[in-house]
Chains A and B, each alone.
Chain A
Amino acid sequence: MSSSRIAPGSVAIVGAAETTRLGVIPDMSQIQLHADAALNALADAGLKPTDIDGIATAGETPVTLAHYLGITPSWVDGTSVGGCSFMIHVRHATAAITAGLCRTVLVTHGESGRSGIGRNRAAPGPSSLFGQFEAPFGPMGPPTLFTIPVLRYLKTYGVTEEELAMVAVVQREWAGKNPRATFKDPITVDDVLGSRMVAYPFRLLMCCLVTDGGGALILTAADRARDFPTKPVYILGTGESVETPMVSQMADFTSSRAFRVSGANAFASAGIAHGDVDHLMIYDAFAHLPIFGLEDLGFLAPGEAAAFIAGRNTAPGGKLPLNTNGGGLSYMHSGMYGMYALQESVRQMRGIAPAQVPGAAISVCHGVGGMFAASGTVIMSNERP
């Protein structure tokens, strides 16, 4: 573990917004989804594109984004390691602002995941490690790869498919409170287990949505943050890591190395304890992700998380509110969902979330990239330490 020399609260999020619409947006290309979110975030912060001197993005290159928005930045970050790239951008931006490399950073996400308009996504070729050692055995995207470790996890800890299904049930309860959620109607464990089998043990309702959308954040030094129109959300600590491009090569099928490194560094740099956390987001591309996240972030011991969720501890009214926007399972999921988890943490810290956690002052936002390939964690607060 590395100890950060960035003081908690040195940098703040002063602008945050999603695209005006989420869901099915066939009239907008992917780069325009980035721009729509960026313009909304700039308006939120009372800024113009020319006020931005640092940009970070994934999915599109920062070159494309800078040109499209008319920005000539003095700092760029194109880290693109999947859906947690934006958590890592926040971490890198925090370091860059603190070091004086730039003053005001724009982080954008936009993805035409559903409509596929203007999408430029290259699959790994047949000579890549994935192409040689996984692709020949018939995987078809994340539902058949991200899910591979789960039977081993269930057997190791005696977890049931019903408990796995409860993750989706509880998150739908949160989604029911969110007018922007794609799916809001309550579901039961029987509904989840009876939904179409995709890749046993995963049924359709254990898998994330596929939608169009985007989001953007603006960060600057905390000393400037009070000059902006919105309530500043301070970055307390961050973490990042990567493990493997092949899920079959994860060191431990019951735990993510990247999660453990990223989470531990985020907590250490924030200088907080798990009991201080009021609100939690864990990127849920599939129903097992919150289980792995709760354990690998250190909230629970290995094997405890499924029963913790099934026992309604993360549900509305529970002691650890988790994925309060409804998550990738019910809110939206464009492909690189991490940005939407960050947006919900910011809303909770501003006190404006549709399912607001009363008095929440510290939020942990944890992302995954690829199929347990990468991880990024951001801990934020509405109070400057």
Chain B
Amino acid sequence: MAEPRRARPEPTPETRHYWEGTRLGELRLQRCDDCAETYFPPRPFCPKCGSRRVAVVKASGRGRLYSYVIHHRPVPGFTPPYAIAVVELEEGPRLMTNITGCAQTPEALVLDMPVEVAFEKLDDEITLPLFQPVRE
């Protein structure tokens, strides 16, 4: 029997570039050519000014741990306790993720600590952007 797996995202026409990016090891955001807003999640227009003149940009992959909870109950694909986190990227947008490469404890998960993207391949099509603490 296959191991239980985490929920798998299903790309749509508007988000395909994002998932193509993670598959290639790039975290992609979008930026408005008119008002310079950088935004997430993907959509083919600017949520700040409504312009359709937007471009896909590669994010640095760096950010800080913005907030989280540590879940203590079992979920398919996860071993509790595990953190469900929100990272604020250097470019501004925030996204939900998991933090890898460190203990899943309040002591190890310090708000505002620097983190960087660590891609985790789910299958040939989908790679998830997880984050890990930046090592000195």
Contacts and interface: CB of A to CB of B under 8 A. Distances in A.
Given A137-B96, A144-B69, A200-B69, A155 B8 contact: no
Contacts of B15: 132
A147 B94 CA distance: 16
A198 B72 contact: yes
A134 B7 CA distance: 9
Interface string B3-21: 0001111111001000000
A152 B111 contact: yes
A44 B111 CA distance: 52
Interface in B29-85: 40-41, 66-73, 75, 77-78, 81-82, 84-85
A147 B96 CA distance: 13
A138 B7 CA distance: 7
Contact of A125 (B6, B10, B41): B10
Contacts of A138: 6-7, 71, 75, 77-78, 82, 84, 98
A306 to B, nearest CB: 16
Contact of A135 (B9, B11, B106): B9
B72 A136 contact: no
B47 to A, nearest CB: 10
Interface stretch (A60-68, A226-234, A245-253): A245-253
Given A127-B11, A133-B96, A248-B86, A144 B68 contact: no
Nearest to B128: A136
B3 to A, nearest CB: 15
B34 to A, nearest CB: 20
B113 interface: no
B97 interface: yes
A135 B84 CA distance: 10
Interface residues of A, number: 34
A248 B94 contact: yes
A118 interface: no
B118 to A, nearest CB: 13
A135 B10 CA distance: 11
B95 interface: yes
Q: Is the interface of A mostly helix, strand, loop or mixed?
A: mixed
State which size class the interface on B falls in.
35 or more
Contacts of A135: 7, 9
Contacts of A133: 9, 41, 95-96
B77 to A, nearest CB: 7
Nearest to B69: A199
Given A198-B73, A199-B71, A137 B9 contact: no
Contacts of A145: 84
A131 B69 CA distance: 19
Contacts of B69: 144, 147-148, 150-151, 199-202
Nearest to B9: A132
B71 to A, nearest CB: 5
A133 B8 CA distance: 10
B84 A148 contact: yes
A139 interface: yes
Contacts of A148: 67-69, 84, 86, 96
Contacts of B71: 138-140, 144, 198-199
Interface of B: 6-12, 15, 40-41, 66-73, 75, 77-78, 81-82, 84-86, 94-98, 106, 111-112, 122, 128
14 contacts: A126-B9, A131-B9, A135-B9, A139-B75, A150-B67, A151-B67, A199-B73, A199-B84, A200-B70, A200-B81, A249-B41, A249-B94, A253-B67, A253-B86
